[in-house]
Each structure stands twice: as C-alpha cells, then as structure tokens.
Structure 1
Amino acid sequence: MKVNTTPAIKTKKGQVVIVFGAGASYGVSSCTPRNPPLSTTLFLEMTKDFPVTWGVLPPYLKDVFNDTVPGSFERGMGLMLTEARESDKWNLKTYQKDLGQYFAGFRLGIGDDYSDPYTWFVKEFRSLLESGIITIGSLNYDCLLDEAIQKQGLKIAYKPGANGVKLDKIHGSCNFLPSIKLASLEHYANKIIVPFEVESLDGLVDKIKNSQIQPAMRFFTKDKDNLTCSAELDAILFEFQSLVNDANLVIIIGVKPNPDDKHIWDHIMNTKAKVVLISPDDKCGEWLTNYRSGKYNRWYPMKFEECHTTLITEIEDEIKDRTNS
C-alpha cells in the first residue's frame, strides 16, 4: 500500500518529521552480523569487540557502565569525559573510534518487510521523502537507515541546504569523518572544528580503524557533548529543532522519552504539531501525560517492525487533514 499524494492535496516541505532511535535499529533483525544493541547491553558488546581498550577499563568504571539503573552507559562515558578534561587520563579519541568502528559494522541483510522495516519505510514513503514532505531525524550512530535509502537509489541530504532525502543525524554518525584534505587539523579548546566528509559505507570499518581521528559523533553522555566537527553537528541539530517546531506531525519511533535530553524533548514538548510515539516502553505514556497534556498526541505501544499500518494511517490522515483544511 502506497500513501496517496496528488496535486490536489495541499502539502508542504517538512510537514511530517519522523524520528528514529535505537529501538528502531534494534528491530532490524535481518541485518548483519546481528541487530545493533540497545544502550543497556552496549558496554558488554564493546568489551567483547574491543578487549584491549573497553575490556581493560578499571573496576570503578566498569561498575558504572554495568549498573542496572537506566542511563549507565551515559554515566560511564560522562565520568570518562570528566576525568579526561581534568587530567588527560583517557584518550577519548580511541574510545570514540571504537564506537564508530563498532556501529559501522552493521549492514542490512536480506529480509522481508518485518525483518527489514527501514527498507519497507523507504519504499512505502519514497515519493514523500523525495519531495521533502517527510523529513527524517535520527539519534543513531549506525547507518542502517542510510543504507536503506541509498539502496533505493536516493541521495541523502545530511547537511543543511543539501539536496536529497533529508536525514538529520543529530548525534553525528559513524560515516561522518573529519576532513583530512586540510593541511592540518585545527583545534580550539580541545574541539576539532574542521568540517566532516560523508564516507561511503563500503569499507567504512577499515577507514575508521586507519583514520587518525574519530568520527564526528557526539559523546554518549547525558549532555551529548560535542568535540568533533562541532559547528556542523550543531547546524544539523538546529535544523532538526526547526523542523520539529514547524511540523504538522511528528512521529518518534523506537525512542524512550528522556526529559534530560532537552535538545530533543523540549522541542517535541513545545511543538504545535500532533505528536505520535511508537514504542512498547511505558515511559512514552508517562511522558505524554506529564509534558503534553491537553495537546494532540498518540502513543502506540508497539515495535517499529509492527507499526506498518499505523504509520501509513497516521501519515495519510495528516495529508488528508491538510487537504480538507
């Protein structure tokens, strides 16, 4: 089933903003070598894949990362960042490179609409993505959605003002590598302020491994600290926030609401758009009650791979509402 859009329907660019989180990529069961983990098991995965760096962290740090209280990975990275700033104790470039290399290793496999929901999404809403009526925000470092878009022969607009399917990766991405064409890397207050280049997904793991610098990815900390290609990542974030502010419909898939992530949730809280949360996590209902009371909201307690009909209905209804207004 394809969403119907005809010249008679009133639409605008950025009318629908769809935001994907870790739960969405976790639902891509057909990808290789396995589906990306949620944050609750990420540290364990890093210690397995990078035993000489992540695997040898001191016990006091491992205790923080292994804490069963939600947000343990953010707290562990936050402690490392604090110690690095105070005493240069940690070479955080190494750990960021490891994270980039890890997430670059995930690729789409051969699957159906259920096991590869990203490809289903791109095929189903292709015309709306090409026209810019649907724009995308992603909180993920991995490139599974990027790969699904590219496999359909579509160009991705990662940076503000670029042409293609709009994909704002507001926390950065494992395929954003700082430009090495410049004569030198310019540092200011420990920030790398050169622009990033979007690298091909083919051979990306080796490119990161052999690079002198880490990918442009915000730290997995509470404040999502940004020390690499900061100006460009900030521009992407500001564009995403503007799109959310101006949208008619915002759909968030596979994300647990976190009010501490003010750069995301303050804008979703305050937008005049209809807000739809798609996730089995009970925090979604609590967040809507506490922060969006009296506004037009919906929560569907389902996984990304289960929400095909729901997505079609919500987007079709939005477009029809604009037509009748």
Structure 2
Amino acid sequence: MATATAEDLAVRTDDLGKTYGDRPAVIGLDLAVPRGVTFGFLGPNGAGKTTTLSMLCTLLRPTAGRAFVGGHDVVREPHAVRERIGLVFQETTLDLDLTAREALRFHAELFGTPWRQSRRTVAALLELVGLTESQGRPVREFSGGMRRRLEIARGLLTAPQVLFLDEPTTGLDPQTRTVIWEHLHRLREERGITLFLTTHHLEEAENCDRLAIIDNGQIEVEGSPAELKAEVGDDTVVLRTCDDAGAALLVRERFGVAASSGPDGVRLSVSDGAAFVPKFCAEAGIPVLSATVTPPSLDDVFLHHTGRTIRTERGGPLTVDDVGRRR
C-alpha cells in the first residue's frame, strides 16, 4: 500500500519537536490523521498536548521536524494553514459584554467576511449549536456549556477543514459534556470536517475514532479506543457465590483459568467475560449471587504504557504502587 502524502491527510507530522532551552516539550512526533475523523491526544497536564496543538495551529514554531495541516506546511505556509483551520482554546476568550450574535459577527468581520454572507453563516451556526433562542443575550449570562458551544460556533465561521479543540469540556459537568459531544458528532456528520482534540478526560477520549496516548512529550501508543483496550488484556470478572472458595477451585480445575477468592468474591480474568459468566452459571452447579464484568479501560491502557494512571488523587498522578494499594 502506498504511503499517504501530506495532501491525503488532515494532519501529518514528521519527527516534530519543540524545545524550550534545554527542556524538550515535544519529542519526535509522527502523526498521520486521515480526513474526516475525530482524533484525540490523551495525556495528563504537561504531557505536550497543547504545545503540539499550538505548533499545528501556527502559534508556535517547531524546533525540529515538519508538520502539515490540510496539505500545507505550518512553517512555510502559515497563512494557508490558518485559512483551513478553526481553533477552540482551553480557556474562554469570549467578550462577555457582547451578545452571542454580536460575538460571531465581530469575529466574521475580523476575517473579512461580507456582511450578507456573515448574517447567513452566523444564523446557521447558532442553530447548529442550539443557541438561536439565546442569540440576543449577553454572553456573561451564559452557562459554561453555552459559552463552549458558542466558541465552537466561532471556530466554524471560516468553514475549516480541521477544527482543533484544546480540552473542549474542561470544567463542565458530565451532563453538559454529553450535550457538547452530541453537537460535535452532528457537526462532523453534517460537515465532514476533521476534529482534533486534546483531553485528559477518559470518558471524552472514548468519543475519538483514533487516539494517541502522549506522555512526557512522546506518543506511547496509537489506535482506536477499542484496539488500545483490547491490547491491554482480558476482562476482569468478580463472582459472588454461595461457596466462593469452591467456585474458585472449580474455575481453576474445570475452566483452566486462574482464580482467587477473597472478601469481594471470586476474581478472575478472561478474554470474554460476558460469555464466561453464563457458561459458568450453567456448568458450575454453585449458585451465583452476583457477577460483575469489567473490561479494560483507557486508564488501564495508560498505566500499561506509562507505568502510571492518568486519574488523579489529591491533585497528583497516581503511581503504580498507589494503584496497587487502592485495589
């Protein structure tokens, strides 16, 4: 199969790097993001996500390698890149005194969009993100979710090929995150654009078609969320029975699966937990009181590849030892 060129891809990087003095922030980054997908960087704060995004959006100049967005070199053709992208910053940059309609029209005017065209575009975008009824209200009266939707609409004013989103739902409650992602999914379906996001939220990363786990400025692994989780290992099954010790012995002898019994029940790992549980119930002859099947998570993937979990406790990353103690 022929290697994809920069023109075939929404984003491509070749050995991309960024160093501040003698401190590397991004190291040897190789990316090939197809057009029309939702691609995500998953990693903790300080991993290099925002630095990479800033280089791709021409806000930072790389110190090594090359990067292409929409087939154009971010260093040699920055204006061409900017014409093809939209950007939603991590921190809000809205003027709180403007109404939603005024905010979008002002932004359109900065890009030189003709007045009649901007009126139609603004109206369509407000409808797309569900803010038509609130377009005359000052932005300061908006909730966090409404402001984020308005910023997404602003990022779409120039009909970008790629929409970059830096931590798009940070600070939002789970219900609002769901609403934001409903709008993003519909946006991609209706307009066929590429979504490129950074996140440290595991649930948000599940929305990506492809995901790159980044840590200490380097990509550790890349693939779909399902592929990444499948590579980590088996499902964890916990059974509570009328005789946990006997059930554990039966699992080992009859099914050839390692199992242990403890205060929480019988614990074992199998490739397909959902299929194993009914089979055990049918063949074991020991009443099962409850069964829990837990597939590998993206946190397990991060732990597997980096030696630590992305989830935080007391404001800092958990170590492998911390994870062992919690279990």
TM-score by length of 2: 0.29
TM-score (norm 1): 0.29
